[in-house]
A and B are shown apart, each in its own frame.
Chain A
Amino acid sequence: MVGGSGLLAIGAVERATRDVDVVALRNADGLRNPDPLPAALQAARERVARDFSLPPKLYALVDQGPGKHEEDLRSLGPTVNELRAAARWSRSQDPSEGFEQILRQTLSHLGVDDVDLGT
């Protein structure tokens, strides 16, 4: 883990972070690609998303790129309005320009172009 969540994990800070950046997983052979995350971590992620009413799929898609998250999101069949609402929430979680840019690209990829992200 890197960033604030990494500092939190080693006890260097106590402040909660908005996200957890996992860049690698360590096993007996060394470091490996963290995608896919172990089932237990995926379950924990889904539970936290549920407990805090996070729309996890769109956020995960923007945050971690296409692949399984896109499949999962499409399988849910969200309406345009649901995607707009999820986009506004996702934007509120990460106000950075970089995140907004990827969020707009992702929405466009999903067929939603006219979203007011409050910026």
Chain B
Amino acid sequence: MSISELKREVAQCLRDFAWGQWGQMGVLAATDRSDHWAADPEALLLLSFEVGRGDPRLFDEVLDWTVLNERLISVQRLRNLARDDDDRALVEAVLGWVARRKRRARLTAKVPPSASQPVPFFRGSEVAVTDPDPAFLAQGFLKPNLDSRGRSQAPDLRLPINFAFRMRGLLGVGARAEVARVLVTSAAPRLDIQVVAASTAYAKRNVQEALNALRASGAVRSSTIGNEQRYEVSPEAWARLLAIDQLPLHVDWPQIFSPFRRILRWLEDPDNEALSEYMRGSESRQLLVELAPDLRFAGFDVDVAGPTGADYWDHFAATLQRLPLP
């Protein structure tokens, strides 16, 4: 399988997934999906910003949703989830775009404008951008200057996928809502602070403060096992409080989406198309080695060993095809 074949397959899978998720969250999109997990809004936004570079309609609809629902979004968390400069440029471009439509101090760009030559934002686009959007241009992207279409809606809080917004309605946009979401939906009976911090994408200090507050209110219990403090909730009590028969499932979306963003960028990089067979195997091995900790945290069984030399590429492609993007 060539890089371009794998790229087409992965990109299509990610586009279908993103449309299916947003269709349940208020974006104008037809979907027959009815997922039983709780979405992670900021993680899904960040993934969609990257995936949307290959699907302008998806990107513009997600922007439309973001500007309508910006009060439901944690800007701090969106920034926390950005792992590298590519992520940060996407986040700041979108926040800058939203800030021009909704005047909020929290939306002010935190990353200095890009000094590099701007590149087309949408991949594969050959249309000249004569009137680039200033927020995107500041981050080095040439994107047509289009206004919000105003077609999105607020998320339907009755759907399991929108559970995060329900928790935010109850506890406010911040660490408490995310900590409660993770504890309430996790299949593990109790979690330590490192796991909660990784799952919520908040710093341990913020998570500790949130856990202390929730514990003081009686919403969360803690116990000490060995030297470690573990935290738990009563799912039944939370289900009664929220009048839900079945609580949604927890998925570690940040640890799934971050690898997929990097994989997509790697597959899209034209320099990789020119690699020798050995270097393609070596580079793909290096990528998988770097992504494995996140994927394992999210519960995927990733074998990084594989065959030697150039043959590793087939192992890499097969591993990607087996990754169960739900």
List chain A positions with a Cβ less than 8 A from chain B. 47-48, 50-53
Contacts and interface: CB of A to CB of B under 8 A. Distances in A.
B163 to A, nearest CB: 42
Interface of B: 278, 281-282, 285-286, 308-309, 312
A47 B282 contact: yes
Nearest to A52: B308
Nearest to A44: B282
A53 B278 CA distance: 14
A114 B60 CA distance: 70
A103 to B, nearest CB: 22
Main secondary structure of the interface of A (DSSP, over half): helix
A47 B308 contact: no
Contacts of B285: 50-51
Contacts of A50: 285
B325 to A, nearest CB: 27
Contacts of B286: 47
Nearest to A47: B282
B271 to A, nearest CB: 17
B282 A53 contact: no
Nearest to A53: B308
A26 B2 CA distance: 39
Contacts of A53: 308
B275 to A, nearest CB: 13
Nearest to A16: B278
Contacts of B309: 51-52
A11 to B, nearest CB: 15
Contacts of A51: 278, 281-282, 285, 308-309, 312
A47 B312 CA distance: 13
Contacts of A48: 282
Contacts of A47: 282, 286
Nearest to B281: A51
A51 B286 CA distance: 9
14 contacts: A47-B282, A47-B286, A48-B282, A50-B285, A51-B278, A51-B281, A51-B282, A51-B285, A51-B308, A51-B309, A51-B312, A52-B308, A52-B309, A53-B308
